Chain A
């Protein structure tokens, strides 16, 4: 292969074959570090007054390219160069100079007069102007959890019980550090022989429980290695009912580990204060803790310290904490901080006898049995008293289950079998309580306990803006925020930080008249919902979970608004990416009249399956990842789409954008385009878009189509290289892109490599390893972390979920926020309605934290929307928006 030397003004594209260096290509990217926006929408910035409109320069990264940011972007089509400096709204397309659409839509498909579908001209418009007018602050700061927590919490106010309330915040001691590993320490949550647990706050404002091990403990042999292993294992524990580990350093002088902070009281505290729980609460508790334990066991851990103090109660369900970390082998829980003082009766016989080798998952099940008996009766089943007597009874006596509801007796007896092998597994216990999964609402606990949670939450967080939030009313409810609704809301808001369920809470604020604490909260009159249909447990769960989180944050933020006209819940349905069951799953949303709009689905196949259900229900379906074109595009005989709104380019456009990105590299003359048939719809649509775009650019690609079963990419690609391929475009799925990446390196191919949406993701980096280096991936999303406009969203996400947002979260947050804003705008006295929502959204213009969104007649995103990411050092680095016209052609014209 003999690459054509790069043209002078289009610089080192060819270098990028090996090491894409965007910094070396200033003219290709005016703002390398500043993330591209879908479009700038300065005049549409809703609420950002308090944002100082500083000079634009302040937003610019320092760097040599800075001066170039107002230069025309060579990736933009020629017409742009003629645009006046203050350019018109990119979404108001000028007449397009040439067709940019691939002919894959409904209209006739001649290459000379390609189907100019619905969105034609918009594609010509610059999708991405990274430089809005000075002073523009693109997006409001989302504050998902509404009020920011104070810099330091108020010390616990009310009269103290004689012993410190476990879980309650105690002031730091003079000997305590004020900060640790990036956490500002706010107080003590507990202390024991092993160390101290602090309440900490990260720079992002998220609260964490930071458990620090005393140095002398840490110096025991093997401690650190074991600690490290267990932290790694704990990070694999994935359960909504287990508190996640958010940070750890086994090598610190005093090793520490941080987990998300749950403000609720522990089970022990709740029982001490309010007595035994009703059967229903115990069943919900048991189901959730059993599920958490099942996840712990699946991660290869044994908790070894399941006790009332290690189960925290949140509004939407219990949380198991402290799973199996930094607990010395053979050490019992006796040395740890005990929640229920003087009642170490939660050990299995094998633990009580310190038969270390016999301690396995079954020990946790025994402890769970003790815990549930305690919750149901208020007494540990082996009594209290001297430790040795307690141990003896545990090993030799039958448990005291007097007062346990009949419905739970058999299950608890089984859990409390002396022989570990005779006990059910945690999975079994969960299955036995399967109908009692927490519903996400707060109705699983008796009102007095709820009140305690609320008080605790309010006290702990001392949220200064809580009154303002409370004042928010729903349309149908008079604003009578009594003390009760204050507390409930406080708790709900606090729960945002960790557990969710706020929508239910906010709703309860409405019944606000007297609200006797002994009564169950009355459900709100009408429950409006935003639905999420996502693959949360199937092949695309990485994407689906990200979308759910984005939506959840958006809804919670909406509910936290002072002026919200109504409260929304989030209703989530997991389609598992399974077409066989997708329709039934979708109907859970489409048949619920309270659901106003749905985010989803994640994947093309499910989208095709469920489309009819949404159409029948007239329920808007907004997707940020399903690119199958026919979800929106219809032939002339069919009724036009009025259901799906797609906030990403469909696959043919994505293929087109990808090919135009290739044309940025002016040395490229003979791109090789491979269609592999694993997901034939996707690859074909991509290839058709690319075919059209390369045609526009005057390039004749070398096409290959290979079966899904093809594995010998070395021969296939070797032949393409021999045929003169100087750039590679993979129209196929990730698994085969990995094979191609390896083969290209083995073949010492030096040209750039490109792939699309279904390759993009962390899995490609992991699976292709070093072979992924230098690939360019066109994806319909951006990394929120790199966007200044999304800083508030990112912080809120970290606070809420303990992690930075994954790809697709920000876009999900945006479109859900967009839909809710429209619902609020259109809400009449009768409340919000799904009717007319799609049409209003389709016509609207929305600017969110990830950029701007406008839609064509069919409901497809206009203005590009494909972003090129380069793989550098094992990570994605965004290069910029893919062009929406052939770069070389633009240049020829110019």
Chain B
């Protein structure tokens, strides 16, 4: 379990980069997204309206190796909080160079919302979300390399359908706002997001997945950096990792830069496996 399976990791990696790169969208940039390492997104604007689809709706996964145990499904905030904290990726999941930022975890009510003006602001967590937490990590600046900031987010929804709508909502954000203001002095632009339900585009690790890439522009950081937000869904839980580029880093390693995608995928897959462990029938 954990992220032990290298094949899985590679597949996932190919998915993330391959998907977007190959589809050609990226080129210009990498992606970026919400404030601070993002967060599960709430509803984007008004209405990512979760329909009242019965929680029974378990549409997609045909072959995903995941059998949720109804008895273990989180039903309230306390359940969800326990699961979210057990799943969310800390620096160890990212790699040996990563350390916690301070504060390491978002507050219990943290719920950013992308406003009509394409700027992220604080919002109120919708009732369809039982709990959400973001864990911030970084590789401190060293020499020519800047501070690489990353984050991992886990959002536990009331139902699988609600989680499904969150995935759609994330895709919608990049369509609606290809350029977003994370906070003063920090922007992401040229966002392109691509979804890959299970079995599509090489996704064999999660019920659904998406990648969003673009450019990351921050005051005080030289040049356009990359931005990448990858999000997967396992049942009623979504997990996401975000990397905001910094000098000396690139998504894939080069002779002069340190690659970030391996750590990002590792953190994502770690959370996927942890989420399965939390939700699956225990043998």
Closest A residue by C-beta to B176: A703
Chain A residues 666-715 with CB under 8 Å of chain B are: 673, 675, 677, 680-681, 684-685, 687-688, 691, 703-712, 715
B27's partner among A107, A629, A675, A716 (CB-CB below 8 A) is A107
Among A106, A110, A634, A716, the residue within 8 A (CB) of B49 is A716
Contacts A675-B171, A707-B168, A708-B59; A635 near B195 (Cβ below 8 A): no
B49 touches A109 (CB 8 A): no
**Residues in A whose Cβ lies below 8 Å from that of B161:** 707, 709
The answer to whether the Cβ of B201 comes within 8 Å of any Cβ in the partner chain is yes
Cβ of A716: which chain B residues have Cβ within 8 Å of it?
49, 51
Assess whether B172 is interfacial by the CB under 8 Å rule: yes
Interface contact A712-B51, CB-CB below 8 Å? yes
Give the Cβ gap from A707 to chain B, nearest Cβ, in Å: 4
User: B85: shortest Cβ distance to chain A, in Å?
Assistant: 27
CB-contact partner of A109 in B26, B57, B195, B196, under 8 A: B26
Interface residues of A in 102-140 (CB under 8 A from B): 103-111, 115
Q: Considering the chains assembled together, what is the distance between the CA atoms of A707 and B21 in angstroms?
A: 23
Which residues of A sit under 8 angstroms from B22, Cβ to Cβ?
630, 634-635
Q: Name the A residues within 8 Å of B167 (CB-CB).
A: 707
Min CB–CB distance B56 → chain A (angstroms): 11
Q: Verify if B15 is at the interface (C-beta below 8 Å from A).
A: no
In the complex, per-residue mask of B1-32: 1 if CB is within 8 Å of any chain A CB, else 0: 00000000000000000000111111111000
Known A675-B175, A707-B161, A707-B167; contact A680-B195, beta-carbon cutoff 8 A: yes
Q: Contacting A677 at CB < 8 Å: which of B28, B168, B201? A: B168
A746 within 8 Å of B (CB atoms): no
B37 contacts partner chain A, Cβ-Cβ < 8 Å: no
- Whether a CB of chain B sits under 8 angstroms from the CB of A435 is no
Enumerate chain B residues within 8 angstroms of A109, measured Cβ to Cβ: 24-29, 190, 192
Q: By the criterion CB–CB under 8 Å, are A633 and B172 in contact?
A: no
The answer to whether A719 has its CB under 8 Å from any CB of chain B is yes
- For A675, what are the chain B residues with a Cβ–Cβ distance below 8 Å? 171-172, 175
How many pairs of residues, A versus B, come closer than 8 Å at their CB atoms? Answer: 103
The size of the chain B interface, using a CB distance under 8 A, is 37
Q: Mark A734-745, 1 if CB is under 8 A from B, else 0.
A: 000000000000
Cβ B51 vs Cβ A104 within 8 A: no
- For B157-176 the 0/1 string (1 means CB < 8 A from A) is 00001001101110110011
Contacts of B49 in A (CB 8 A): 715-716, 719
Q: Please, which residues of chain A bring their CB within 8 A of the CB of B86?
A: none
Complex Cα distance, B22 from A680, in Å, reads 16
**Of all chain A residues, which has the CB nearest B21?**
A635
Asked if B127 CB lies within 8 Å of chain A CBs, one says no
- Alpha-carbon distance A681/B27, docked complex (angstroms): 19
Check if A680 sits within 8 Å of B57, measured CB to CB.
no
Say whether, besides A703-B172, A715-B51, A105 and B194 are in contact (CB < 8 Å): no
Residues of A with C-beta under 8 A to B53: 709-712
In the bound complex, how far is the Cα of B190 from the Cα of A629, in angstroms?
Answer: 20
Q: In the assembled complex, how far is the CB of residue A723 from the closest CB belonging to chain B, in whole angstroms?
A: 8
Q: Which residues of B contact A634 (CB under 8 A)?
A: 22
Cα(A108)–Cα(B169), bound, Å: 25
Which of A109, A707, A709: most chain B CB closer than 10 A?
A: A707
Q: A109-B190, A630-B22, A681-B201 are in contact. Are A705 and B169 (CB under 8 A)?
A: yes
Query: What CA separation (Å) do A748 and B174 show in the bound complex?
Result: 30
Q: Is the CB of B28 within 8 A of A708?
A: no
Taking a contact as CB atoms under 8 Å apart, the answer to whether A107 and B24 are in contact is yes
Cβ-defined contact, A708 with B60, below 8 A: yes
Q: Is B197 located at the chain interface by the 8 A CB criterion?
A: yes
Q: Which of A108, A680, A703, A707 contacts B164 (CB 8 A)?
A: A707
Besides the contacts A680-B196, A716-B49, what 10 more A-B pairs have beta carbons closer than 8 Å?
A: A103-B25, A103-B28, A106-B24, A109-B190, A675-B172, A677-B168, A691-B175, A705-B171, A711-B51, A716-B51
Binding site for A on B (CB under 8 A): 21-29, 46-47, 49, 51-53, 57, 59-60, 161, 164-165, 167-169, 171-172, 175-176, 178, 190, 192, 194-197, 200-201
CB within 8 Å of B: which residues of A?
Answer: 103-111, 115, 629-630, 633-635, 673, 675, 677, 680-681, 684-685, 687-688, 691, 703-712, 715-716, 719
Task: List 10 contacting pairs A-B, 8 Å CB cutoff, sorted by A.
Answer: A106-B24, A109-B192, A110-B190, A115-B24, A630-B24, A680-B196, A704-B172, A707-B164, A708-B59, A711-B51
